[in-house]
Structure 1
Amino acid sequence: MSGFYEVFEVFSRKSDTAPLQHQFSLLAPNHEIALVMAQENFMRREPVSDIWVVKRSDIRQMKEEEKDALKRLDNKDYRTTKGYGYLKKKWRQYEQEMFDEKEILSWKGEIQR
């Protein structure tokens, strides 16, 4: 019996635009039986748009040297929105320094003239 069954990973989508999500693993002798088992075990529980069944041995993980190529350069912060998060605080400080109470009250006299 050893070697007859293979491990398959089951992924699904709730709608055509939703991302794939891993649901569970199962043992089956081939792809066709694995798909039937996935449908029987999963689709009757909740509505899905699509099911993917993949043999675990066909899934390849990146090696460490391949992951290094994905790292961003240090000087690319301007490409992410977090690089501008400080502006709101800076603007608030600028407004508080510029519009103090004396200045605002002085406008009243200028408007009446």
Structure 2
Amino acid sequence: MDSTPPTDPRGQSKVNMVKARAPQKDSSIKDMFAKLAGKKADRTEKKGPATPDATLEVDEPVTRAFPENLFATLRDDIAALKQELAADVKDIRCNMGELEQRVDSLER
């Protein structure tokens, strides 16, 4: 067998190309997490401690997004939907009864 490593069209050794693409390992994973934790700690120190008396200042008054009688409206809507559903179920049962009668008459 030939002992020369395979080359790409540019004449570079493929082994060297892979080594060039590989990231340099200058620290372990634990060190990377420690660095990230250190950066996170630095960010929180810059923000400063949170004060318990901090309040949100609003320029415009906050308006309610829901009507005052929201629950009553929802309760009425649910009751109406239940009635419609009951009527639909009744119709379906009647239709099923008619279909069963037709099937019985066809089987005879």
User: Normalised by the size of structure 2, how large is the TM-score?
Assistant: 0.26
Higher relative contact order (CA 8 A, sep 6+): 1
Return the structure number with greater helix share.
2
Larger strand proportion of the pair:
1
